[in-house]
């Protein structure tokens, strides 16, 4: 399998090629070069905010926030971006396994905050973790940088564990959104369109600080290319030497190489996909291929739902499917016993160096997604583009950054080494079962009803429902205009621990369903997380247009949707199929 990102040059040729400011000789490597608009920030003109949202620009309230009855009347989703937290009001974070009094606040709560000055340095190239182990010079730099970071004073913002606490604070409710009181609205950078840009910045500053510690402007983090058959084992740079500063003892050591990563793994479903060896590799590649194929026409499906000022991320919106795969990798690395530290819990994940290589590949996959879409802006919406975060930079300054300024990696002066992308090859991913050859009389058929109007529990056994489609046998032009989406609404996670259910789709036999669940459509995955006295909530949207083509089910008026619980207990509010307007019809 050898397809690589070189194909991207045929997707969207650049009208403003990058000017490499590298000084001196450099190793010759093929790299993924960003291709973006020549606009200074790579963004198109902004449309007016949705009329369904309340525009904060037309609402008078002090920076201190809404109080009393105004806020208590309901958490309105304002047509406004999520703003950075007030650092002086940082408070204890919470964790399902580690308690309610985690100390994750930064040591710079009263510092002056300035706009970040983006680097003017040579273009840095992130390389695959499986390859850098062969480069002794690079490994010496990486281990030295991490050792120096771990040796900084405990209260220094560059200290390794202070860097890890940044993730804890933003992901475990140590910060509240400015402007919302009684009740407060926690800042959460998972489960929404903030997930990818926030983590891009987090890696950037961590990487720049490491480079500063060894006085090397060219230093980059390695990426764990778990989407490649050659990269589906835990990188040995993090496992081979227990005395290395890159090593972390809080892992599932049974998953060290040669164990193969399983995208369908969860703590309650250690069998995962049920496959091993080459079959498991193929299962993973097919899952990644479907993730891209089904989400290219509509950014929400890949990036996550919008999150605006006043909304809770752990609410009615949902993550993109890339985040769900990423969650499964977190579980696979973390300890299988509760509290699943370090990688299996958001509050501690940053304490493992492998976290940053996992997220470097997640970032790389976003970069590939953007290239496949011709660098089309995912959300031409100021509420996304102007969402703002605060970090501590490589110059020991507290800085603010906006989403709009990280969309072009060239702004951050990095790119990725070109490596094979085997999931872009033709793969035998179509599910084939004996049911296709059997008659109705030979099958063990069961009657499946509609979901109904009341919420339903999902716990020990699969939930199967018959769902009507808005239209069958759609023409190509109709598919280019609207993508068919399965929506699972008002999901309540009834426990604080890890949670996962998988979704399968099959064509029915009239009003009956066969014993086979059909084809895998996607998954809902949550790491252990504790909300403030509330059940965790969410939603799930899955593109199914291409899946129905693979299943030869385009003529079906209804579909059998099966939710298979793997770990945790859920309440499901509803299941429906909708047609949603595509934002990139040429990719359907």
Q: Catalytic residue numbers? A: 167, 190, 199, 326, 330, 346, 359
Closest C-alpha to 111, from 427, 496, 392: 392
Helix and strand numbers, DSSP H then E, in the chain: 12, 21
DSSP-based helix, strand, coil % in the chain, nearest 5: 30, 20, 50
Provide the angle, in degrees to the nearest 10, between the axes of the packed helices 195-213 and 136-151: 90
- Does residue 173 come out as left (phi exceeding 0), alpha (psi in the -120 to 50 range) or beta? left
Q: Is 253 exposed, middle or buried (0-12, 13-18, 19+ CB in 10 A)?
A: exposed
- Please calculate the CA angle 382-384-390 and round it to the nearest 5 degrees: 110
Angle between helices 321-333 and 354-372 (to 10 degrees): 160
Count Cβ atoms below 10 Å from residue 56 Cβ, excluding itself.
Answer: 20
Least Cα distance to 32 among 57, 55, 65, 7 occurs for 7
Residues 6+ apart with CB under 8 A from 45: 380
63 token code pair: 């920076």
The tokens describing 5, both together, are 């990102």
* CA separation, residue 311 to residues 186, 366, 527, 576 (Å): 9, 24, 21, 23
Q: Per the structure block, which two tokens stand in for 328?
A: 């499964």
Q: Would you give the end-to-end CA distance of the chain in angstroms?
A: 25
DSSP run (H or E) holding 141: helix 136-151
Instruction: List the structure tokens of 157.
Output: 């913002």
SS3 439: coil
Q: What's phi and psi for 427, nearest 5 deg?
A: -125, 150
Nearest of 550, 486, 551 to residue 524 by alpha carbon: 486
3-state secondary structure of 535: coil
**Overall residue count recorded for the chain in this entry:** 588
Beta-bridge partners for 512: 447, 509
CA–CA dist 114, 134 (Å, integer)? 40
CA-closest candidate to residue 378, choices 200, 119, 170, 520: 200
Q: How far is CA 88 from the centre of its chain?
A: 29
CA–CA separation, 482 and 28 (whole Å): 44
Nearest one of 69, 313, 319 to 181, comparing CA atoms: 69
Contact predicate 216/207, CB 8 Å: no
For residues 521 and 504, the answer to whether their CB atoms sit within 8 Å is: yes
What is each CA distance from 468 to 331, 449, 458, in whole angstroms? 34, 11, 21
């Amino acid at each position: 399998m050898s397809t690589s990102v070189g194909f991207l040059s045929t997707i969207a040729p650049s009208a403003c090629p990058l000017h490499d400011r590298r000084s001196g000789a450099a190793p010759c490597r093929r790299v993924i070069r960003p291709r973006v608009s020549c606009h200074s920030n790579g963004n198109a003109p902004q449309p007016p905010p949705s009329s369904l949202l309340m525009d904060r620009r037309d609402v008078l309230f002090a920076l201190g926030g809404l109080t009393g009855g105004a806020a208590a009347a309901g958490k309105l989703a304002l047509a406004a971006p999520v703003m950075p937290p007030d650092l002086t009001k940082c408070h204890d974070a919470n964790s399902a396994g580690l308690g309610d009094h985690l100390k994750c606040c930064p040591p710079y709560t009263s510092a002056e905050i300035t706009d970040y000055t983006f680097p003017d340095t040579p273009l840095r190239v992130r390389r695959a973790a499986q390859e850098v182990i062969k480069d002794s010079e690079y490994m010496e730099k990486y281990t030295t940088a991490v050792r120096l970071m771990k040796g900084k004073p405990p209260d220094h913002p560059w200290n390794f564990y202070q860097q890890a606490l940044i993730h804890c604070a933003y992901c475990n409710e140590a910060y509240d959104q400015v402007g919302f009181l009684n009740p407060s609205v926690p800042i959460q950078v998972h489960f929404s369109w903030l997930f990818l840009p926030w983590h891009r910045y987090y890696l950037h500053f961590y990487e720049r600080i490491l480079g500063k510690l060894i006085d090397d402007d060219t230093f980059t983090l390695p990426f764990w290319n778990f989407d490649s058959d050659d990269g589906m084992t835990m990188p040995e740079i993090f496992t081979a030497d227990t005395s290395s500063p890159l090593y972390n003892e809080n892992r599932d050591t049974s998953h060290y190489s040669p164990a193969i990563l399983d995208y369908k793994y969860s703590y309650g479903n250690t069998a995962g996909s049920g496959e091993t060896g080459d079959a498991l590799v193929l299962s993973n590649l097919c899952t990644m291929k479907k993730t891209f194929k089904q989400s290219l026409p509509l950014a929400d499906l890949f990036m996550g739902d919008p999150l605006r000022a006043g909304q809770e991320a752990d609410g009615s919106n949902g993550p993109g499917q890339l985040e769900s795969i990423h969650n499964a990798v977190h579980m696979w690395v973390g300890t299988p016993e509760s509290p699943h530290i370090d990688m299996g819990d958001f509050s501690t994940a940053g304490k493992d160096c492998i976290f940053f290589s996992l997220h470097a590949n997640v970032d790389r996959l976003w970069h590939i997604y953007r290239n496949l879409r011709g660098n089309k802006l995912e959300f031409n919406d100021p509420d996304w583009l102007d969402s703002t975060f605060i970090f501590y930079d490589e110059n020991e300054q507290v800085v603010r950054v906006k989403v709009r300024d990280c969309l072009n990696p060239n702004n951050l002066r990095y790119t990725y080494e070109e490596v094979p992308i085997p999931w872009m090859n033709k793969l035998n991913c179509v599910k084939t079962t004996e049911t296709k050859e059997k008659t109705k009389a030979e099958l063990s058929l069961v009657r499946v009803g509609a979901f109904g109007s009341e919420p339903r529990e999902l716990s020990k056994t699969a939930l199967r429902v018959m769902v009507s489609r808005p239209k069958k046998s759609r023409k190509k032009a109709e598919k280019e205009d609207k993508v068919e989406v399965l929506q699972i609404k008002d999901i309540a996670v009834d426990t604080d621990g890890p949670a996962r259910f998988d979704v399968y789709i099959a064509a029915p036999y009239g009003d009956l369903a066969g014993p086979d669940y059909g084809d895998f459509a996607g998954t809902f995955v949550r790491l252990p997380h504790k909300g403030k006295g509330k059940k965790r909530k969410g939603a799930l949207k899955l593109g199914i247009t291409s899946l129905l083509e693979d299943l030869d089910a385009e003529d079906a008026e209804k579909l059998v949707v099966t939710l298979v619980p793997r770990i945790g207990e859920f309440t499901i509010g509803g299941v429906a199929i909708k047609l949603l307007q595509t934002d990139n019809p040429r990719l359907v």
